[in-house]
A and B are shown apart, each in its own frame.
Chain A
């Protein structure tokens, strides 16, 4: 670079540094044992992957081994009880079903609506739209327990003052997964090529007609996949619910709007898992198996959906 020519763009800088590294790497001092070192390197990489996979396997196997003894219909029909023989997850399952049902009702219109606005209507150059963009990305990474505090301060108490009811838990979970739904929906909507919109508008369709009849139908498989994945997260999330009244000892099936105590599957599992008795912990493991089975079903459905209906442009 003796004549003072310096790459100025980021791209050029990266290319130059890459070239420099490659040249030095290739022509620099080669250790005599480089073959051995390469082999060790690959070995280490392989070990890393194996440890990760092993960890996953151990989690699943451990849960299965611990809980298989408790796999029976009583798991689903048994009530919360301190007697490990009779205890089950009935209330928790009802609670989770109600929770997820309401979450879906809230998150689908709000999430798709926000995604449609941001992708189809908003002028992307404006600063406030970019702020909303950044905001949503940040919200997707806020710890779950902070959402619990939010729910506690605004929904259970505060302005909405709904009390410690299940519906409050649902609203909180909905806020928790909404950013993920918005982000996934936006990707799906963005994947629809602009030529489709142009073709529709050029025929004299209005913007909403174009969205409703062309863009949305084409984006639905991707949107649905995103929603299912977000719901999966909501099913397994316990931390915020702890703050909203789910930690009580409940022996009857919850009512969504009644201030009479409620629980959910992950919370119940947590309670069983935290107890010292071995028997009760086996119950927790069985609950985990149940929850994982449900999640496996949901995710497989999502993958099937995507493979079957995905539009290839």
Chain B
């Protein structure tokens, strides 16, 4: 086998990091900096406290199961990524974590979802309270048709948060890395902002109610690369104070920002021709992308399978 072919084979088998190592070895400039791919400047990875504990969770819409048998822990003050091809139930699962699936009448959640040890679907649990503690940012930015100020202030107002509203708004916008850009035009309609700004507004809006967890359902898929980069930087900042779960289609994004990664796949039910999502592997991000345990994971992260 020629050198080139061998290089290519090794690259496929050992993932993105390996390719760079080889590029350096051959004297080429690695086009991806290793530091950007893995940010293990922390030692406290897999030993944090669990924010969520999922135990044999199955979500059914009507009679079709969307995800089945999901069981893993999500750790505090980390970014956990859910990756996998389309249609394998990542969004369905993340919406269980803040009970947004309640909005769909035919959705049924079985199994246990524990939040700091408490059953999220317990009989006395109020979904409204849940959503105050567990916020969500959606795929397509959805600012309210109001001013920037009112967008941020909406959450605190309806929740009856005490304090000076101006301060609350400023704090949220600062945390959302948006303050400098909009501080002079807080009363302008949010629709006038660019897509990336709108999404950061949605993040700031979420932060204003002081949640514990932030869920993000493909937050950057509708945005350009520069906005995406900014939001990823923001995520890394936010990780210090919030637990973050992100669904993403973009594996490189998962590799860039997340600490733990869960890889989903979709299985075909033999008798009923249903597609059901399952978690194949859940581990440190670095491990998933460099030495995955499951062949399916490897196929996905090396791009063999879409």
Contact = CB atoms under 8 A, between A and B. Distances in A.
Whether A and B touch (Cβ < 8 Å) is answered with yes
Contacts of B106: 125
A137 interface: no
A187 B106 CA distance: 24
B202 interface: yes
A308 to B, nearest CB: 15
Most buried by A among B129, B140, B142: B142
B158 A213 contact: yes
B296 interface: no
A199 B106 CA distance: 21
B221 to A, nearest CB: 14
Interface size class of A (residues with CB under 8 A): 10 to 19
A196 B142 contact: yes
Contact of A203 (B103, B129, B140, B209): B209
Interface stretch (B63-71, B131-139, B180-188): B131-139
B305 interface: no
Given A201-B103, A204-B209, A195 B128 contact: no
A195 B135 CA distance: 15
Interface residues of B, number: 25
A199 B202 contact: yes
Contact of A200 (B105, B129, B144): B144
Interface in A256-279: none
Interface string A147-181: 00000000000000000000000000000000000
Interface in B19-74: none
Most buried by A among B132, B136, B144, B202: B144
A201 B131 CA distance: 7
A218 B142 CA distance: 14
A214 interface: yes
B262 to A, nearest CB: 22
B205 A203 contact: yes
Interface string B227-255: 00000000000000000000000000000
Interface of A: 123, 125, 193, 195-196, 198-206, 209, 213-214, 218, 311
Interface of B: 98, 100, 103, 105-106, 128-129, 131-132, 135-136, 138, 140, 142-145, 154-155, 158-159, 202, 205-206, 209
Q: Which 6 A-B pairs have the closest CB atoms?
A: A204-B132, A195-B142, A203-B155, A202-B136, A199-B142, A204-B131
